[in-house]
Structure 1
């Protein structure tokens, strides 16, 4: 199902037959080797002694966007995504200089499909549309000192491009206000303390918010207080801002209307933004255009407004409006024995702990169906034995986990030579040649 979710079929024994040596072992096929797939497999194997799980991945390397996560300098919190990104749906979004966050993140993290993105970093000002952790990650990568990035597993080609980057100012714009930002305090604090950069927050954006968050949940209260503190600081008060050559800032209540082209129509030169007002409060507040607009000059536009999953197969139900597989506790509606997990189950929200708990819930549904005899276990399934035969008959050579370990060892060795944790191989053909396929 791709890195943003997992989909599988289960088949196995009912509770009354679990302890019988004659009972066939439940065979479970997981499609997608991202966090959702692995967490589900982990829960099944932990709570069912006979379960056998096969995990399938479209790439020659496992772990989905744990490997191709949001930021190479955050290896401990590698994030994940879905197969596609949400479009802005505005004129000019296909102009050169406009990129989706998913493609940009994939480019600097070595996702094979994005290795040739070659983003144009020749402008001084970049605009990121979105107020989530992915938006902050991209801003941090654009503005980070190269010495910090060289110690990560960022790809060589993206490091070389960033070394030549002219970007020195990054704005992050969102439709709603400070009380609705989706990033977390850890990521904000890291951005505020980024060496050689100066945060630019307008104190007027935070008027009256100290009282508004007094009774808010603690994470929201602390996050807002940090933004207020940063907005009120005088330039140069923080060590990170000493002789700051670069800036970043947050813009609120601005909704993109159009990406504006240069005179020759060949490049983005800015974005026309509709100013908005908020109706309602808290998480449910809606952004309503006021009728006023402004233009923000920028040569690089990155859309970080969310991800969306894609249909797996015509035989698998899919809600195109919500971008999910219709399900109840992970059970796919109208398809007994088929389950889903991750973003394709609930939509592109939450962090990795959310996906872990969500995956455990789906695995629990599988276990309950096994115990209740809901899955047909009358015939023993071959699992990968059968799939492997089909692949061989088609001339397809699957990459095994031991093959991946060879790729892993090669990447780590290349990284060690360069003083990095690893140097990712970004060309699938090179991966296959390395393992003799």
Structure 2
């Protein structure tokens, strides 16, 4: 059997906020691309891999995840057979043409019903063991098991999720992401040269929503009233804003290993010619449509539901992601408005006096200077998380009721993109 190992596909690391299958091998760092990471592995997509024709041993699990308002919510989830509960399930990364086997064991005390896995977008999935269910074979409670096999014939971003009692089980957290890399190479999203990206800047944003009343009922062995569902929390990679900005594997979020900060470098052809875009993978594991908005930026959609768009690829500043939908997008922050990096040229803007600047809660990501790579004064008593004059933009749901944590904004279905000046200027670490 080929054993699973966890690999970090990294962007550029940062501690931003807060005091911020078989045997599982120790995490290893895969470097690549044209950019050097000051804190490699701390941000970006985390891949769980298992070599050619991989076998992944998964199990069901239960546990709690934390929210920025101090609440904790009981969840179900998939995890590697030798690992503790995590939310969401591991990102399974395979190669086009691989024969993929996923073994599932349902041995969680708090899950007293059969569980299964389905793989939307995969064809000719076979299931062995377990008992026949509505969509696929199921692993019975108290130790039942089932094995699924398919050939990963189409590159792209996909979900895997429970195919049993879906309205409850997927809501409880039985979901994860599957990435199929193309035969053209790991620095391409699809088998087309136009999909080349910087492999050190690969990100995945898996969206979901939570009604705490349903989870509370399940944790107490009660029947959940799904007809009265009222979501109060919205997550990206199992976290709500501002926890989405923290690095991967921060110790104070032990069950939520994946951050969601997107970290790029400004593209200025004279300073970083040939720079490749970042690859952003969207996946909606929830049941609601999420109009996701990369504030002030355009992303180029190159694929939907694991199918390359070709000539239909297009740029836009917002995407409505339907339930169960995935999308692959390329992103570059281009210096189109001549935000001159560093002290090379002033931006023609008049700043208000410090006495007229007000920052919510006395904190900001603003550097005090409108020029990329520059820092200036801020009012006394204001704490800035700005490190070296970088820019920040919020990426968030445009359904603004999702932009909060149980009525406390801003939070919920949101993250940020950090834009550094070109590395050749030496302005950021």
Instruction: Name the TM-score class by shorter chain.
Output: under 0.3
TM-score normalised per structure 1: 0.27
Higher helix proportion, which one? 1
* Higher RCO (CA 8 Å, separation ≥ 6 residues): 1
Higher strand proportion, which one? 2
TM-score normalised per structure 2: 0.27
